[in-house]
Structure 1
Amino acid sequence: MTTQTNSPSGATIAEAQAFLDAHPEIEAFDIVLHDSNGIGRGKIIRRHELLAFYQSGRFLPISILGLDICGEDVHETGLIWDQGDGDLRAWPIPGTLKPLHGTTPPRGEVLMSLYTLEGAPMTSDPRHALQAQVDAMAAEGLFPAGAFELEFFLLANDRGPDGRVRPAADVLDGRASHRTEVYSVDHLHGMLPLFSDIYAGAEKAGITAETMISEYAPGQYELTLHYRTDVMQAADDLMRLKRIVRAQARAHGVTACFMAKPIEDYAGSGMHFHVSLQDREGRNVFTESVDGQWSPEILHALGGLRATMGESMLVFAPHANSWRRFANQSYAPVSTSWGVNNRSVALRIPAGDKRARRIEHRPAGVDANPYLVAATVLAGIRHGLAHRIDPGPETTGNGYDEAGGDDSIPRDWNAAIAAARDSAFLKDALGEDMHRTFVAVKAAEYARVARTISDVDYDLYLHTV
């Protein structure tokens, strides 16, 4: 049997055959490619098609990466009729072929990336954008490690009497709570059957899901992930875990919600990114060599992240709803501030053993694309290191009190789109093609929202103007 293919991703038939031999019960596979919004697009293939996928890849239209949040073509991306909507070739990503938990009949899943017919990376693929930043860091002798936090809501499938979404009742016994049960352990018990299936799904996917927390809003939870020495693996973990949470919630009769701000009176959901850098010997370069003195590397990294945050906010807050998350005293940052053991800032150095020194990047909402978030954060760190940027004074105490004069952050979605479009930094961080695709998709979505007549229009104006 041939074990190698011409796959530019490094996929081999041997991996697929070994999986089939180990899982004779699996009948079909979800093959999943993530677009600029982080939406999984692809196909379900039958068991007998898997080896051919690993041998020859799978043709997919180039337009699959030029879609908006609704799956509509965005012609301004240049990925639709400008290129005749021709086919490119998607290839499986080595190590991502996994069984799914609780599916009937049994199914598996594999992630894929898009390449040209000649085997070059298709540069509007978010995964390739992140890989380009990882490769650039490696050329500089640095190797990023990290993990994302996943915050989400569990909501009832039906709306409340007021027409608004509402927290899901416990799947264990149907008990409902509309209180902010932050850090309540007993409150978690009502969702244990669902959480157990989420953990089982994560284990099958090779994801080390860790602590579950009842968060700072009714129906809101946080699930932490094991720190990875491979940032691409960390982003894969987050994308797959969102899919697992959504599927298991649906199986238990509730809705998993990954909007940044689904309930107006409560905190929104973030996707904090913890990141550190190792040198070629595996040492954490953010670790201070003299107690009480921050390493130059962590300070310059903070400086770069602060300097580039404003023009990068569209990556961290990509949707209309994303911007509702940013408010004073909300645990979402409203400035570019940095601090130590302080949750009111955008860039936090967590307390703990200095050998695990890292930056917690807090601006991104859970609705953001982790591949693009990680690519942008790494590029910001590289920018700070290259130019030895001073981050300015540390914020102590309440960072919200100091944020009033900070005009470096766009104040709304439209301003963020404009800042991103004009940003030479973001074009370099994402690559020219990914930047054009992403900004075009966001501009099209903004136009869709702007022309939509919402309920608030009728509430405010129908009988008053």
Structure 2
Amino acid sequence: MTSPSGSMPSEAKAFLDQHPQIEAFDIVLTDANGIGRGKIVRRHELMSIYEGGRHMPISILGLDITGEDVHETGLIWDSGDGDLRAWPIPGTLTPLFGTKPPRGQVLMAMYHLDGAPMTSDPRLALARQVEALAKKGLHPAGAFELEFFLLSNERDAEGKVQPARAVLDGRKSGKTEVYSVDHLHGMEPLFSDIYAAAKQQGVPTETVISEYAPGQYELTLNYRKDVMRAADDLILLKRIVRAQARRHGVTACFMAKPIEKYAGSGMHFHVSLLNGKGRNVFTETDGETRSLPLLQGLGGLIQTMAESMLVFAPHANSWRRFVSQSYAPVAPTWGVNNRSVALRVPAGDAKSRRIEHRPSGVDANPYLVAATVLAGIVKGLDEGLDPGPETTGNGYEAVETRTTMPVDWRAAIEAAKASSFLKGALGEDLHRTFVAIKQSEYLRVARTVSELDYHLYLHEV
């Protein structure tokens, strides 16, 4: 059977010939929450996966954050939880770094048994947006930034998470240490392994910085002309960071707001559009201050931001990140060279002009984020939308003069559920699946009696 994903048995054969020591493979399918689901298969099974795909239950795409079935997705008993067929994503078959015994890994995408795309697969939702742009003669390029915390495996005296000690010498720091190069040296053994693993997997990882909180870091990725690969890069890099942190005795944390008194972690998405000749259409021409496609793209993103926030902030914890003057945007604003806005146009060479989309937390699914952002840009281009005046200076002061985002998770769920735009951006099936999962998770959180309940009410009511 011909692979609908474009994978070829020759890729697997060449890999097996080149890596005779690898005994097993992680086959990884990304669900709506961005979690890798799948199996570990033995070496002798790999060729059959490339020749005929691998059966996996449809319910794997209808799970909540804990791996529980969400029946309201329609992907569990409504379908009899039948098998579909997962196929390898070309170019993602790589060795894993530091595993004993040696293992490999390949990303997968889900298709129906007849080869038709499974419309609740997040990666295929992004593929649909890329295809829609291709019909307009446009090709999205981009890259993600990955912010995260490195935490100790031990809690503090109050039972809360705490920043990890330096893996080099065990030194502990409670300082912010933003942009401190010396502070990075304490984590050098870990980051060296992260870079080695990324190189082995073909993930173009670049700069590392110490971010704006104790234990917080950022890794950047090289800009890709293929936005599908850019999203794959982010998925792979998170897996690399988590695995290498574990090997070094610390925890990589991708919660949007793990420590309440410090800044949260974002997943900024840089995006531009290339025409058929490879020219960036966001680049201004002679006499222009800003190109019309750039402004219209910004207009589409601003108009659709409120109803899309569930994609950018998908969890209860996500909403704790949005605090004024915290480098997380709190209103649908845009500006040039301004980190207080939601949509930043970075300074630099006009040929590399792009939009930096800043609302998403690091806990968001990059496939869904990219699909939603591209759909917003297309809406702006198709309808000639005006982004309104540029925000200069402190963007947090612009909150009262602009249409605001949902104030909490529940409001975001309701906005997403009612959104015809988001239904088009994700596709009806994935929209239904994603909203159902979020509604189920919301009810679980809302009905949980927490320590905060006891603190507030036990002796007071």
TM-score of the superposed pair, with normalisation by structure 2? 0.99
Which residue of structure 1 lines up, in the alignment, with residue 107 of structure 2?
A: 111
Give CA-to-partner distance per residue, 1:267-302, whole Å, 9 cap, x none.
000000000000000000000002551000000000
Root-mean-square deviation (Å): 0.7
Give CA-to-partner distance per residue, 1:7-28, whole Å, 9 cap, x none.
1111111110000000011010
Which residue of structure 1 lines up, in the alignment, with residue 317 of structure 2?
A: 321
Matched, 1:393 2:367: no
Matched AA of 2:364: A
Which residue of structure 2 lines up, in the alignment, with residue 460 of structure 1?
A: 456
Structure 2 unaligned runs (5+)? Answer: none
Q: Distance in 2 between matches of 1:350 and 1:8?
A: 38
Structure 1 residues 130 and 165 mapped into 2: Cα distance closer, same or farther (>3 Å)? same
- Equivalent of 1:80 in 60, 76, 79: 76
- Checking the alignment, whether the CA contact within 8 Å between 2:338 and 2:392 is kept in structure 1 is yes
Q: SS of 1:51's equivalent?
A: helix
Residue 406 of structure 1, CA deviation: 3.5
Matched AA of 1:239: I
Q: Distance in 2 between matches of 1:220 and 1:199?
A: 17
Q: Distance in 1 between matches of 2:376 and 2:7?
A: 31
> In the TM superposition, what are the counterparts of 1:70-149 in structure 2 within 5 Å?
70-149=66-145
Q: SS of 2:327's equivalent?
A: coil
Q: Distance in 2 between matches of 1:13 and 1:416?
A: 43
- Equivalent of 2:257 in 243, 258, 261: 261
Matched length: 461
> In the TM superposition, what are the counterparts of 1:394-409 in structure 2 within 5 Å?
394-409=390-405
Q: SS of 1:377's equivalent?
A: helix
Residue 408 of structure 1, CA deviation: 3.2
Which residue of structure 2 lines up, in the alignment, with residue 238 of structure 1?
A: 234
Q: Distance in 2 between matches of 1:337 and 1:22?
A: 50
Which residue of structure 2 lines up, in the alignment, with residue 286 of structure 1?
A: 282
Q: Distance in 2 between matches of 1:411 and 1:183?
A: 31
Give CA-to-partner distance per residue, 1:322-362, whole Å, 9 cap, x none.
00000100000000000000000000000100000000000
Matched AA of 2:437: V
Which residue of structure 2 lines up, in the alignment, with residue 9 of structure 1?
A: 5
Q: Distance in 2 between matches of 1:408 and 1:173?
A: 46
- Equivalent of 2:41 in 40, 45, 50: 45
Structure 1 unaligned runs (5+)? Answer: none
Which residue of structure 1 lines up, in the alignment, with residue 427 of structure 2?
A: 431
Q: SS of 1:249's equivalent?
A: helix
TM-score of the superposed pair, with normalisation by structure 1? 0.98
Matched AA of 1:92: P
Q: SS of 1:30's equivalent?
A: strand
- Checking the alignment, whether the CA contact within 8 Å between 2:28 and 2:106 is kept in structure 1 is yes
- Equivalent of 1:362 in 358, 361, 364: 358
Which residue of structure 2 lines up, in the alignment, with residue 66 of structure 1?
A: 62
Identity between Structure 1 and Structure 2 (%)? 73
User: Deviating runs (4+, > 2 A) in structure 1?
Assistant: 404-408
Q: SS of 1:10's equivalent?
A: coil
Residue 407 of structure 1, CA deviation: 4.2
- Equivalent of 1:350 in 326, 346, 350: 346
Q: Distance in 2 between matches of 1:162 and 1:111?
A: 40
Q: Distance in 2 between matches of 1:14 and 1:389?
A: 47
Matched, 1:444 2:440: yes
- Equivalent of 1:171 in 153, 158, 167: 167
Q: SS of 2:167's equivalent?
A: coil
Q: Distance in 1 between matches of 2:323 and 2:18?
A: 50
